[in-house]
Amino acid sequence: MKVAIIGSGYVGLVTGVCLAEIGNKIIFVDNDEKKINSLKKGEIPIYEPGLERLFKKNKNRIKFSTSIKEAVENSKIIFITVATPPKEDGSPDLSSIENVATEIGKYLTSWKLIVEKSTVPVETGEWVSKTIERTSGGKVNFEVASNPEFLREGSAIKDFLHPDRIVIGVESKKAELLLRQLFKPIKAPVIATNIKTAELIKHASNSFLATKISFINSIANVCEAVGADIKDVSLALGLDKRIGPYFLNAGIGFGGSCFPKDLDTFYWFSNKFGYNFELLKIVKEINQKQRERMIEKVEKELWIVENKTIGILGLSFKPNTDDIRNAPSIDIIKKLKEKKAKIKVYDPKANRNVKMIFGDEIEFYEDPYQVAKNSDCLIILTEWDEFKNLDLRKLKKMMSQPIIIDGRNMFELEKLKRIGFRYIGVGR
């Protein structure tokens, strides 16, 4: 099938490349000419495992353009995957969606299915439809559908090609059948519903996952107070099929570009429709406090933080990505800097991005042992696999004081004690 992807950012690229992989012809569009030129040269502007390989493998089925007109002319299904960044009041900025819908309307000459895939609040589908109707002059038939994405950074290709479910929000059998056909090679249950329900499922999913994390972090805090172990609590909770084992890892909380933003949007539009969804506010507050607790732990171990050397391992908001948007590391570094600590950091992928924020104010290293050298304490903020295989005895010898504060509970308590570390996790 001929598919256009308007918005060649993270979601757009993964969607288009995966749709090419299952046999479709893709035209990627973006208004950023530089980005389109790099893509034409085969340069992928984001780091996502497997994306580059699939991109190269399917290059014969992929085209690029900066023109929405060309995309409309060369496709039957048009995915809108532009950014919807948060505004001050928690509402998302939907102006890019409106612009794209306006443009699509101008160039429609035959029936198309326009699918919103960007994360958008309920009613966006209606507005997209009205906008296209207006700019197309009501002369051409078209339909709008919703197909929310459930892609995790770091495993987006797998999530796309092997999802738990595919949600399609449609208003006609024709649109439903077309999307079912598009996704046929992917083996997963398809939930076909109306557009508003599909839009809402996305916010409900992310909010529930975020709630699970804040819930387990709250239990972890109680565990710390009473001397229980959150690892065993999570294990036991997760074995209950009604609860499930995922998203029960206690730590410094969630970051990234999705959960924090989606909680705000869901809260904002529930309010707009007359429901005060207080739970979501509290989930976010708990998450923020979880970061502050790390600073409290550092102070508890080091007493005076000023002039102490603190090593940080892991900066990205989670492993296998260089993304630092809303990463706990940024808040934690800022707080430690306020307290005048000397900060040394290492991340396998995110050093460059963090350097853009802090420049020379903190020290960047290409190796965890260099970070450990002469540190009074090491803090782990991202659970990269690489850290699991660290030579802990070597690490200990290099440090000024053998203290590890592990915001991701990566290590066994007993093992670290045996080696001679003072090891503080979350909820243990």
Which residues are catalytically annotated? Answer: 258
Q: Which stretch binds ligand UGA (CB under 6 A): 92-100, 160-168, 254-262, 334-342?
A: 254-262
Cα–Cα distance measured from residue 346 to residue 358, given in angstroms and rounded to the nearest whole number? 13
Backbone angles phi, psi at 185, to 5 degrees: -65, -15
Q: Would you count residue 266 as binding ligand UGA (CB under 6 A)?
A: no
Query: According to CB under 6 A, which one of 47, 107, 150, 365 is a site residue for ligand UGA?
Result: 150
Within 10 A of 37 (CB to CB), how many other CB atoms are there?
A: 12
Between 140 and 209, name the residue whose CB sits nearer to ligand UGA: 209
- Among residues 131 and 206, whose Cβ is nearest to ligand UGA? 206
**DSSP bridge pairs for 169:** 146, 193
The torsion defined by the Cα of 115, 117, 122 and 123, in degrees rounded to 10, comes to -30
Looking at 65, 118, 119, 146, which residue binds ligand UGA (CB under 6 A)?
119
CB of 290 to ligand UGA, least distance (A): 9
Question: Would you count residue 247 as binding ligand UGA (CB under 6 A)?
Answer: yes
Q: Which of 149, 224, 376, 406 binds ligand UGA (CB under 6 A)?
A: 149
Q: Which of 257, 270, 317, 258 has the alpha carbon at shortest distance from 291?
A: 317
| Minimum CB–partner distance for residue 112 and ligand UGA (Å) | 25
Angle between helices 195-226 and 278-302 (to 10 degrees): 30
From candidates 61, 76, 87, 152, binder to ligand UGA by CB under 6 A: 152
Considering only residues 354 through 373, tell me which ones interact with ligand UGA, judged by CB under 6 A.
Answer: none
One residue of 55, 64, 259, 266 binding ligand UGA per CB under 6 A: 259
Residue 137, Ramachandran bin (φ over 0: left; ψ between -120 and 50: alpha; else beta): left
Strands in 92-183 per DSSP E: 113-116, 143-146, 166-169
Provide, rounded to whole angstroms, the least separation between the CB of residue 424 and ligand UGA: 17
Judged by CB under 6 A, does residue 254 bind ligand UGA?
Answer: yes
Instruction: Write the DSSP string, 238-295.
Output: HHSTTT-STT---SS---SSSHHHHHHHHHHHHHHTT---HHHHHHHHHHHHHHHHHH
Q: Does 411 bind ligand UGA (CB under 6 A)?
A: no
375-409 as b/e: b if 16+ CB within 10 A: bbbbbbbbbbeebeebebeebbebbebbbbbbbbb
Q: Which of 151, 157, 198, 330 binds ligand UGA (CB under 6 A)?
A: 151
Q: Which one, 231 or 308, has the nearer CB to ligand UGA? A: 231
User: Contact between 211 and ligand UGA (CB under 6 A)?
Assistant: no
d(CA 32, CA 369): 40
Q: Answer yes or no whether residue 47 interacts with ligand UGA by CB under 6 A.
A: no
* Nearest-approach distance from CB 372 to ligand UGA, in angstroms: 23
Indicate whether 324 belongs to the interface with ligand UGA (CB under 6 A). Answer: no
Q: How far apart are CA 323 and CA 255, in angstroms?
A: 10
Pairwise CA distance, residues 232 & 70, whole Å:
56
Q: Which is nearer to ligand UGA, 203 or 396 (CB)?
A: 203
Q: Is the dihedral of CA 96, 102, 106, 107 positive or negative?
A: positive
Using CB under 6 A, pick the residue from 124, 249, 309, 409 that binds ligand UGA: 249
Instruction: Tell me which of 248, 310, 341, 378 binds ligand UGA, using CB under 6 A.
Output: 248
CB 291, min distance to ligand UGA, A: 11
Any idea what the Cα angle at residue 415 is, between residues 313 and 222, rounded to 5°?
A: 75
Answer yes or no whether residue 118 interacts with ligand UGA by CB under 6 A.
no
State the residues that interact with ligand UGA by CB under 6 A: 119, 149-153, 206, 209, 213, 247-249, 251, 253-256, 258-259, 317-318
